[in-house]
Amino acid sequence: MRLLKELVKAAVITVAIFAATFDVAQAARLKDISSISGIRDNQLIGYGLVVGLAGTGEKNSKFTEQSFRSMLNNFGIKVPEGTTLKVKDVAPVAIHATLPPFAKRGQTIDVTVSAIGEASSLRGGTLIQTMLKGIDGNVYAIAQGSLVVGGLGVEGADGSKVVMNTPTVGRISNGAIVEREVPDDFLMSDSFVFNLNRADFTTAKNVVDAINELYGDGTAVAEDSASVRVSAPRNPSDRVAYLSTIENIEIEQGEDRAKIVVNSRTGTIVIGSNVKLKPVAVTHGGLTVTVSEDPRVSQPNSFSQGQTVVVPDSSISVEEKTGKMFKMDTGATLDDLVRAVNQVGLAPGDLMSVLEALDRAGAIDGQLEVI
């Protein structure tokens, strides 16, 4: 008897653990479903030259030659007018990088280098000092270094070539040094705004309830379905710990609206779990028309002075498949629809037609979105 009680107790504990695990799985940290307004990445871009290429650079580009002349002038080397520069070991490139929030002067960031001319490969090249600017025109970083190129390109004298991946794009790890910090109002504002990655009134309400339960009523206020404003401490030293606590709060997310997404180009169909169908009967049949051409050669008789001609010979066949009907009862779910479709054996293209017809008939409790 005692053993039976212990087994029952263990079973109850196991069920409780699984239930708790399921509940946690439905929740997500606030930092995973939202971002703080104003704390974001910033894009940088620049134009420069990659040197040291083994003859895989520009063929005969005027703007590359102009850029090369400008670089030499910066070092006090004046190239006589009319001199033709050989730039086959040089390639003009566009450089882009992402400056993370709160990046400080002297820190380094990765850069990506892409050829913008006729260069066939950047393998073995070195990017010379290049300024990276933001959208405001200010220089925020300086890039320089040797490229790591994952692609490979080989070309023969007869014009044949083999290309693997993309040899005209390279990357420099920690290749740019931050020279200017992006101004922000992190220490100046009286509140923070959390913007949800997916706008939802239920999720916004749950965020407000979770924060107010921890810090008191009025700490968080929902501005709309996508934004929640949270009061911030006056003392700047307390803000980091304050945000660290808030962004790790587990939030129960609201269920997405019932939706069916159809990609007409790839034939991909995604049906949300909340989609319901009203009572409806569906039949779908296919009519296939095939036109084939079998041209025949007509030979003239001997000594007839005729000409050999090609006579077209077309044949047309029509095949109609027997349509099968299936019925959906009240409140039919995603599983019911998938089971019925699999039994009938509809292809993705046919299923798209069925879904569109169901939507027009008002039999779908949800939104049909065709992309």
Q: Between these two residues, 336 and 215, which has the higher pLDDT value?
A: 215
261-278 average pLDDT score: 76
The model's pTM is: 0.65
pLDDT at residue 206 is higher than 70: yes
Do the Cβ atoms of 220 and 213 come closer than 8 Å?
Answer: no
How confident is the model over 114-160, as pLDDT tens digits?
998 888 888 889 999 999 999 999 999 999 999 998 865 555 555 55
Cα 22 to chain centroid distance, Å, stands at: 29
Do the Cβ atoms of 115 and 91 come closer than 8 Å?
Answer: yes
Q: Which of 55-64, 97-106, 203-212 has the lowest mean pLDDT?
A: 55-64
Proportion of the chain above pLDDT 70, given as a percent: 68
Do the Cβ atoms of 64 and 91 come closer than 8 Å?
Answer: yes
Residue 197: per-residue pLDDT: 92
pLDDT at residue 193 is higher than 60: yes
8-12 average pLDDT score: 37
Number of Cβ within a 10 Å radius of residue 66: 12
